[in-house]
Structure 1
Amino acid sequence: MTTGAAPVWRACTPARYRLAEGARWLDGSLLFVDLLRGDLHRIRGVGGGGPEPLLRLNMPLGAVAPTAGGPPGRWIVAAGPGIALTGARGALDWLARPGERPDRAMRMNDGGCDPAGRFWAGSMEVQAATGAGSLYRTDPDGTVHEVLDGLTVPNGPVFTADGRLMYLADSARGTISRYAVDPATGGLGTSEPFAFFPPGEGRPDGMAVDDEQNLWVALWGAGRILCFGADGTRLRTIPLPTPHTSSVAFGGGLMYVTTALHRLERPGPLDGAVLAATTDVTAPPAVAYGPISGA
């Protein structure tokens, strides 16, 4: 998919997923989650074999990041009711379980690391009750902080390369907000509206920031990816052959898009696949979660 050319999409996975999400490029391969099943997979491009299963948690798995300085195969995960580190054979060492509430059924959703190695992840009520969700920041010492509340379906967040700006979507509300961030502490400063999508235009889902500091957004229900400049200008629209586009990532000369079968009455042949097309766009790889003191 070079600039101005129509993309040719190819399926990277033989399986079709109910809710594939969380595309991240890492170490020459693509990571993604099968969110509702709680599985983490890795693929190595189109025709590279796989997917290779890496985790099976038997609870919803919204997002993962590798860990720095820990044993191989250790992950930080936003899963089930909270945030945890994985141990041997997928056992979880919980850092916090804020979703364990007597009044609501909650689960974790999308997340990822900022350039300083802090892990950020959102929560939501399982039926997307308005304002029930929050955004959490996990610092390198393992402490978890609620930094925003009143969210409905948070997706992202993603960050600029200097760590000074964060983009956060609230899919149910059709909004993307941009926040100032203190890169030294992770403290959130002022926020501003960045983009709004009326119901007929799709809902903003997973996002990525490229090496030019442009924001790429998967539009759930609309079958397309949008690219925004830092000033909010819509720079590119990339159509896909499936309506539920859920996340986007770049690596190895390819643009990857996860998709979903969720609530499609008559799925097409590519619905629920992880798709790829050649591209001239580049982006940083996924950032590892910083080491925990004493680990």
Structure 2
Amino acid sequence: MTEWQACSPARYHLGEGARWHEGRLVHVDLLRGDLHRSDPRSDRPPDHVLALGVPLGAVAPAAVPGVDWIVAAGDGIALVGAAGPRWLARPEYRTDRSMRMNDGVCDSAGRFWAGSMELRASDGAGSLYRVDPDGSVKRVLDGLTVPNGPAFGVDGTYMYLADSAHGTITRYAVDVVTGRLARADPFAELAAHEGRPDGMAVDDDGNLWVALWGGGRIRCYSPDGSVIRDVPVPTPQPSSVAFGDGLVIVTTARHRLSHPDGLAGAVLVAPTTVTAPPALAFGRIPRA
């Protein structure tokens, strides 16, 4: 995994949320509110799929008639199809502070999980939300600062959640039937010089891959929390990691770099034998 190449000339301000879906890569340019889709092995430029006009933390495909995506965007969560966004809830609409949604992903039961944060990363201002297949939105954790992930184990019985501001990754037991979170176990704690845990993915062997923002690398943990591999990335701010079609794919960012290098903001790819499940879809819900 050292033969990194930019999969297109595009450089994103805050590339995030890499997901492999239907043989293509999807990812967001978070603060600009854009969703892009591309074939990393093709010379064709990325398709610009969505422009929401508000920060777009993450997307997941949706198995709902007339809906393409579920999105964590702006101050809430919406379903998006040809008619535009239909908001399920806007739980982070606040008058006392500026909030936005951040990273998110679906589990094997079709539930969508997404975190929120205060724009200046105020300590403890963020939350984690769960969207059930009936469209209901529930706050399941609070007191977070910069939640990233989550990432689910291959059998859906546990969830990893990073709090990037504190350099921690926690593993939660999950009731696969109800989605209820149970036991919370510390999984990893990173020193500042290692970078901050950002986007994550679980591979087919149950290992956790983590993009280390500011650390210029991605790291692989075994399920017992031991470090298996550290893979250098040729720009300091890798932000998410995904696998598909024999490639490892890493989004990166130019955000807050006073002198960005030539690969800052690129989507980087390298050949790998590691495999991982494609992005899971949000479950069916009744039509409005």
Is TM > 0.5 for Structure 1 vs Structure 2?
A: yes
Question: Which residue identity is paired with 1:225?
Answer: I
Counterparts of 2:10 and 2:244 in 1: how far apart (Å)? 21
Matched, 1:105 2:98: yes
Aligned to 1:74, the other structure's residue is in SS state strand
| CA-CA distance at 1:269 after TM superposition | 1.0
Question: Which residue identity is paired with 1:269?
Answer: G
Question: Which residue identity is paired with 2:36?
Answer: H
Which residue, out of 246, 252, 277, partners 2:270? 277
Which residue, out of 76, 79, 85, partners 2:79? 85
Counterparts of 2:287 and 2:5 in 1: how far apart (Å)? 45
Aligned to 2:123, the other structure's residue is in SS state coil
Aligned to 1:36, the other structure's residue is in SS state helix
Determine if contact 1:253/1:279 at 8 Å carries over to the other structure: yes
| CA-CA distance at 1:49 after TM superposition | 1.3
Counterparts of 1:180 and 1:50 in 2: how far apart (Å)? 41
Q: 1:222 to 1:175 in 2, by over 3 A?
A: same
Counterparts of 1:88 and 1:43 in 2: how far apart (Å)? 20
Which residue, out of 41, 49, 63, partners 2:58? 63
Q: Which residue in 2 is equivalent to 1:24?
A: 19
| CA-CA distance at 1:165 after TM superposition | 0.3
CA deviations over 1:145-186 (Å, ceiling 9, x no partner): 000000000000010111100000000000000000000010
Identity %: 65
Determine if contact 1:10/1:46 at 8 Å carries over to the other structure: no
Q: Which residue in 1 is equivalent to 2:232?
A: 239
Determine if contact 1:114/1:159 at 8 Å carries over to the other structure: yes
Determine if contact 2:8/2:43 at 8 Å carries over to the other structure: no
Counterparts of 1:19 and 1:214 in 2: how far apart (Å)? 26
Question: Which residue identity is paired with 2:78?
Answer: A
* Displaced runs of 4 or more, over 4 A: none
| CA-CA distance at 1:69 after TM superposition | 3.8
Aligned to 1:236, the other structure's residue is in SS state strand
Q: Which residue in 2 is equivalent to 1:134?
A: 127
Aligned positions of 1:155-174 closer than 5 A = 155-174=148-167
State TM-score, norm by structure 2.
0.98
Determine if contact 1:46/1:276 at 8 Å carries over to the other structure: no
Matched, 1:39 2:60: no
| CA-CA distance at 1:48 after TM superposition | 4.0
Matched, 1:267 2:255: no
Q: 1:115 to 1:48 in 2, by over 3 A?
A: farther
Question: Which residue identity is paired with 1:271?
Answer: A
Q: Which residue in 1 is equivalent to 2:193?
A: 200
Aligned to 1:258, the other structure's residue is in SS state strand
Counterparts of 1:87 and 1:255 in 2: how far apart (Å)? 29
Q: Which residue in 2 is equivalent to 1:4?
A: none
Q: Which residue in 2 is equivalent to 1:209?
A: 202
Question: Which residue identity is paired with 1:135?
Answer: L
Determine if contact 1:226/1:237 at 8 Å carries over to the other structure: yes
Counterparts of 1:278 and 1:251 in 2: how far apart (Å)? 10
Aligned to 2:48, the other structure's residue is in SS state strand
Counterparts of 1:14 and 1:170 in 2: how far apart (Å)? 31
Which residue, out of 214, 218, 242, partners 1:221? 214
State TM-score, norm by structure 1.
0.96
Aligned positions of 1:179-194 closer than 5 A = 179-194=172-187
Figure out how many residues of one structure are paired with residues of the other and give that number.
288
